[in-house]
Amino acid sequence: MRDLLPASLLEQVKKNESDWEWIEEILLEVELVVDSYEQPRERPVDSQEQKKYYSGKKKTHSFKNQVIVMPNGKEIVDVVVGYPGATSDITLWRERRKELGKEQKYIGDLAYVGEAAINTPHKKPIHQKISVEKKEENRLKAKERIVVEHLIRLIKIYRVASERFRLNRQNYE
């Protein structure tokens, strides 16, 4: 899976440590866009493995992958692949946040609600309607967030990244 995707900015910086301050300065100026997606996998034989990889959202056993991109949608900052399907999006992000620094700001969907560093849409209050102002804010946030959805679509053009992964789990990287 990692061979299909271009090297992320973090991977490039690991190869050349002297560029880290320069890259960090650029990243802090923008809000990065983050989103996760799932890829189906073969059902594990072991029952503990089944629980770990079963995604209640997709009702199948899957791998969870996360993509963090620049606001223009052209540059991948970080990619996480091969986590169990039961792992929540926010848990993936919390693990990777250490790599990018605490000051970095992000734009995400409702899966990332509860984190101060992530700008998320407003949720509709229970038994109430959402205000017109909040609807307009959500629309503007969706315009910024759509770049990561387009990038995920580009990744899924490759059948190995979108269809059921049938190889050994250790080969998924």
Tell me, yes or no, whether 51 lies in a domain. yes
- Looking at the DSSP bridge assignments, the partners of residue 16 are none
Tens-digit pLDDT profile for residues 72-103: 988 889 888 889 999 999 999 999 888 888 89
What sections of 54-102 are H helices per DSSP? 89-100
Look at residue 37 in the predicted model and tell me its pLDDT.
94
**How many domains does one find in the chain?**
1
Look at residue 6 in the predicted model and tell me its pLDDT.
63
Tens-digit pLDDT profile for residues 26-47: 888 999 999 999 999 888 889 8
- Looking at the DSSP bridge assignments, the partners of residue 39 are 63
pTM of the model: 0.86
Looking at the predicted structure, is the pLDDT value of residue 17 above 80?
Answer: no
Range of the domain at 105: 9-167
Looking at the predicted structure, is the pLDDT value of residue 2 above 60?
Answer: no
Tell me, yes or no, whether 172 lies in a domain. no
